[in-house]
C-alpha cells in the first residue's frame, strides 16, 4: 500500500489555492501544455512520503500515526507559485512555503523518527516545502521559460492556515490522477507548557 503523512489545508486556504489554479489555467503559456490539476479535495502539504508498504505493516503504521504529536499547532503560509524544476522541462506547479518552515522541519523530523523503525526504507530527509497544484504531462523543454514566467507572473498573495493535525493517507495511483484515502488522523498540541520538575 502506498502511504504518506500530510497536512490538510483548511477550507479558506484550499479556496485560495483553487483560485490560483484557476488563474494559472487561464494563463496563455499554460494553454499549450497539458496539466493534470490536483483536485481541490486532494490539495495537501506532504509531511513525509512513506512509499510502498507491505500489508502487514499498515496497521502498526496507522496506530503510530494516530498517536498525538508532541508539537504545538502552528501557522503555515504559502506564497509564490513556481514551476519546478528550475531548468529544463517543467514537471510540477506548486506553491512554496513562505512561513512555518522551522516548525515544519521539526514536525518532519518527528515523523521520520516515529515512522522510520516501521519502514524498510528511510523516509526522504528533506523537510516539506510546497503544495503541488498540478503536474505537467510531457511538457517540452522549450515550454520551460514561458511556463516559468507565466507561473511567476501569477503574483500570489501570501495565504495560510493553522496546522493542528497530521493525516496518514493511502495513495491510489490512477491515470486520471492519484486519489487519497485518509487512514488515521492525530492532533498536534500535546506539549508540556511549563517546566516540570
Shortest separation between residue 108's beta carbon and ligand ATP, angstroms: 11
Tell whether residue 2 is a contact of ligand ATP (CB under 6 A): yes
Q: Please provide the distance, in angstroms rounded to a whole number, between the alpha carbons at the two ends of the chain.
A: 44
By the rule CB under 6 A, 124 interacts with ligand ATP: yes
Residues 141-180 that bind ligand ATP (CB under 6 A): 171, 173, 178
Q: How far is the CB of 61 from ligand ATP (least distance, A)?
A: 15
**Smallest separation (angstroms) from ligand ATP to the CB of 173:** 5
Q: Which is nearer to ligand ATP, 114 or 135 (CB)?
A: 135
Q: Examine residue 4 and tell whether it contacts ligand ATP (CB under 6 A).
A: yes
What number of residues does the chain have? Answer: 197
Question: Of all residues in this chain, which one has the CB nearest to ligand ATP in the complex?
Answer: 171
Distances (CA, A) of 144 to 20, 177, 190: 19, 22, 45
Minimum distance between the CB of residue 179 and ligand ATP, rounded to whole angstroms? Answer: 9
Dist. CA 179–CA 181, nearest whole Å: 7
Q: What angle do CA 180, 45, 8 make, to 5 degrees?
A: 65
Cβ 191 to ligand ATP shortest distance, Å: 27
Site for ligand ATP in 80-109 (CB under 6 A): none
Contact string 27-66 vs ligand ATP (x = CB under 6 A): -------------------x--x-----------------
Order of strands, edge to edge, in the sheet holding 92-99? 34-37, 130-137, 92-99, 74-84, 159-163
* Smallest distance, ligand ATP to C-beta of residue 147, A: 17
Asked if 135 interacts with ligand ATP (CB under 6 A), we say yes
Q: Which residues bind ligand ATP (CB under 6 A)?
A: 2, 4, 46, 49, 124, 132, 135, 171, 173, 178
Amino acid at each position: 500500500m502506498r502511504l504518506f503523512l500530510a497536512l490538510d489545508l483548511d477550507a479558506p486556504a484550499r479556496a485560495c489555492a483553487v483560485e490560483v489554479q484557476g488563474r494559472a489555467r487561464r494563463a496563455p503559456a499554460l494553454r499549450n501544455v497539458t496539466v493534470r490539476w490536483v483536485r481541490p479535495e486532494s490539495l495537501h502539504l506532504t509531511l513525509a512520503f512513506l512509499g510502498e508498504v507491505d500489508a502487514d505493516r499498515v496497521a502498526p503504521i496507522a496506530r503510530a500515526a494516530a498517536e498525538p504529536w508532541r508539537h504545538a499547532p502552528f501557522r503555515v503560509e504559502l506564497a509564490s507559485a513556481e514551476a519546478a524544476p528550475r531548468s529544463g522541462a517543467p514537471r510540477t506547479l506548486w506553491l512554496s512555503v513562505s512561513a512555518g518552515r522551522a516548525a515544519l522541519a521539526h514536525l518532519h523530523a518527528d515523523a521520520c523518527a516515529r515512522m522510520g523503525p516501521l519502514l524498510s526504507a528511510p523516509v526522504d530527509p528533506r523537510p516539506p516545502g510546497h503544495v503541488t497544484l498540478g503536474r505537467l504531462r510531457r511538457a517540452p523543454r522549450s515550454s520551460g521559460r514561458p511556463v516559468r514566467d507565466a507561473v511567476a507572473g501569477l503574483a500570489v498573495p501570501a495565504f495560510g492556515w493553522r496546522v493542528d493535525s497530521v493525516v496518514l493517507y493511502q495513495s491510489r495511483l490512477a491515470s486520471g490522477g492519484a486519489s487519497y484515502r485518509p487512514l488515521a488522523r492525530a492532533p498536534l498540541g500535546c506539549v508540556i507548557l511549563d517546566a516540570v520538575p
